[in-house]
Chains A and B, each alone.
Chain A
Amino acid sequence: GAVVSQHPSRVICKSGTSVKIECRSLDFQATTMFWYRQFPKQSLMLMATSNEGSKATYEQGVEKDKFLINHASLTLSTLTVTSAHPEDSSFYICSAPDQNEKLFFGSGTQLSVL
């Protein structure tokens, strides 16, 4: 079946550094991908919708300049957390719909900023 691969699964970085998270659709093309964030004991919240070949659409309250999204191909979307700070520590997860609009999720990335 369809698979979405997300890397890395866990990253620890120093405050002020940038972290890139990749989301790949392995056996289908995804013109759209979704990025979610989950803080401890809270819901998964949609951050942005990544659109292949065009700008991402960000949800209200999500800083575009802090969370850079690039969807350069039909199988890859990246989320870069720029100048990460401890408050950015969270669980990030991507998803992509296949041609039948069935959603597939990556396994998530646990980001810890020291």
Chain B
Amino acid sequence: GDSVTQMEGPVTLSEEAFLTINCTYTATGYPSLFWYVQYPGEGLQLLLKATKADDKGSNKGFEATYRKETTSFHLEKGSVQVSDSAVYFCALSFLGSSNTGKLIFGQGTTLQVKP
């Protein structure tokens, strides 16, 4: 079946370090891919998305490229801040198939950024 696999956390970085959180997926068909972020005490928020191969999603300095050949959607940021400390979820969905909200999530990766 369809699934998403993320790198295990927690990931601990110093401020201004480079961030990569790996995400790979297995899917029949061509899903849309998402990164969600959950800050402490808040709900998940959409961080970025990509709907087709080679698309790059970007937001708040984060970016991820939809790589069909490697079935990956790795999240990157060039210089993290303490305020980026959160849990990050990679997810896939088949938009346009009346399945809005039927997201398949990875297990989440906790990022801790130290000053």
Interface of B is mostly: loop
- Return the chain B residue nearest A4 by Cβ: B43
Cβ B102 vs Cβ A105 within 8 A: no
Q: How far is the CA of A33 from the CA of B43 in the complex (A)?
A: 14
Interface of A is mostly: strand
Q: Would A93 and B43 be within 8 Å (CB), given that A42-B107, A43-B107, A44-B105 are in contact?
A: yes
- Tally of A-B Cβ pairs under 8 angstroms: 57
Q: How large is the interface on B (under 10, 10 to 19, 20 to 34, 35 or more residues)?
A: 20 to 34
A6: which of B43, B101, B105, B108 is its contact (CB, 8 Å)?
B43
- Return the chain B residue nearest A40 by Cβ: B107
Q: Would A95 and B44 be within 8 Å (CB), given that A101-B100, A103-B100 are in contact?
A: yes
Cβ A103 vs Cβ B101 within 8 A: yes
Cβ B43 vs Cβ A104 within 8 A: yes
Say yes or no: is A49 at the interface (Cβ < 8 Å to chain B).
yes
Q: Would A43 and B4 be within 8 Å (CB), given that A34-B101, A49-B101, A97-B101 are in contact?
A: yes
Query: B-side interface residues toward A, CB under 8 Å?
Result: 3-4, 8, 36, 38, 41-46, 89, 100-108
Ordered nearest first, which 3 A-B pairs have the shortest CB separation? A105-B43, A105-B44, A44-B105
Query: A-side interface residues toward B, CB under 8 Å?
Result: 4, 6, 9, 32, 34, 36, 38, 41-46, 49, 93, 95-97, 101-108
